């Protein structure tokens, strides 16, 4: 299937590794011009890379300035960031939410709202937010991620209805257990707290996945590329799971 992305420009946050990197690579493989953003690392060989830390309150405007200074406003925006620290609901304070909110909510809204007018004016736009299956099944000991991602999801769902008639779609992608550095780190943390080995924790995780394996980052990237394409113009306001069937709710 031709995804018709050859004349599109995409801005992908958190693109130096993991799921963000996989999305950027999939879009580039389909012919899109891809601008990557990350705190460190390198971009794709064929595109602009912007070094920025979303924990910095000045970062969103700096990203916007760099992007618009390098060419036309992006057609596609992928909202993605590193996950927050672990923690329980009983022991997480309002202060703990500060930096996480800045990176995972405030910065992403600022970027989306800055690029939306151009998307609406041209009659085409795609906003994809990388969230988590915790939206439908909160993950123990990840209260910061559970809460802030739910807030972003509610904003995305509301926005989707507001801009659909202008040719702009807004969707969320919910990764399950996908083989990334973040998952390795989470499994290591679980192992340290439980006395099990990281390998045992990973084996238990795989046993709970009907597909019988961890997901591959490139599989996640391929789904994102489809949702970012003109082919997916009638899909909006959706939260799409990529979890091998693990989430048990409908």
| pLDDT score at 155 | 98
Q: How far apart are CA 248 and CA 245, in angstroms?
A: 7
Could you tell me the mean pLDDT of each successive run of 10 residues in the chain, 250 residues long?
96 95 97 94 80 94 95 96 90 92 95 97 98 92 94 97 98 96 90 91 95 98 98 98 94
Give the residue extent of every domain in the chain: 9-176+217-242, 179-214
CA atoms within 13 A of residue 114's CA, in its CB half-sphere? 19
Instruction: Tell me the β-bridge partners of 242.
Output: 175
| pLDDT score at 53 | 93
| pLDDT score at 99 | 84
Could you count the other beta carbons within 10 Å of the beta carbon of residue 49? 19
- Sequence-separated contacts (24+) of 3-6 with Cβ below 8 Å: 3/30, 3/225, 3/226, 3/228, 3/229, 3/230, 3/231, 4/229, 4/230, 4/231, 5/30, 5/31, 5/32, 5/225, 5/228, 5/229, 5/230, 6/30, 6/31, 6/32
| pLDDT score at 110 | 97
| pLDDT score at 47 | 82
| pLDDT score at 186 | 87
What pTM does this model have? 0.95
- What single DSSP character describes residue 96? G
Residue 171 main-chain phi, psi, to 5 deg: -135, 160
CATH architecture of 9-176+217-242: 3-Layer(aba) Sandwich (3.40)
**Host H or E run for residue 201:** helix 198-207
| pLDDT score at 208 | 95
């Amino acid at each position: 299937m031709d995804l018709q992305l050859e004349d599109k420009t995409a801005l992908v946050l958190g693109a130096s590794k993991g799921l963000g990197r996989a999305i950027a690579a999939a879009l580039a493989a389909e012919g899109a011009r891809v601008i990557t953003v990350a705190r460190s690392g390198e971009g794709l060989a064929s595109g602009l890379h912007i070094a920025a830390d979303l924990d910095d309150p000045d970062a969103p405007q700096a990203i916007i300035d760099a992007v618009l200074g390098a060419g036309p406003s992006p057609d596609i925006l992928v909202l993605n960031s590193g996950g927050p620290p672990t923690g329980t609901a009983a022991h997480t304070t309002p202060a703990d939410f500060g930096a996480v909110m800045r990176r995972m909510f405030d910065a992403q809204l600022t970027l989306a709202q800055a690029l939306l007018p151009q998307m609406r004016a041209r009659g085409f736009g795609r906003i994809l937010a990388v969230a988590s299956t915790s939206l439908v099944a909160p993950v123990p000991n990840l209260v910061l991620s559970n809460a802030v991602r739910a807030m972003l999801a509610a904003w995305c769902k509301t926005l989707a209805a507001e801009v659909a008639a202008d040719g702009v779609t807004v969707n969320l992608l919910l990764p399950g257990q996908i083989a990334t550095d973040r998952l390795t780190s989470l499994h290591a943390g679980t192992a340290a707290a439980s006395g099990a080995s990281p390998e045992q924790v990973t084996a238990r995780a795989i046993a709970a996945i009907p597909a019988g394996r961890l997901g591959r980052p490139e599989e996640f990237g391929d789904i994102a590329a489809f949702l970012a394409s003109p082919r997916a113009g009638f899909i909006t306001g959706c939260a799409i799971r990529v979890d091998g069937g693990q989430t048990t709710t409908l």
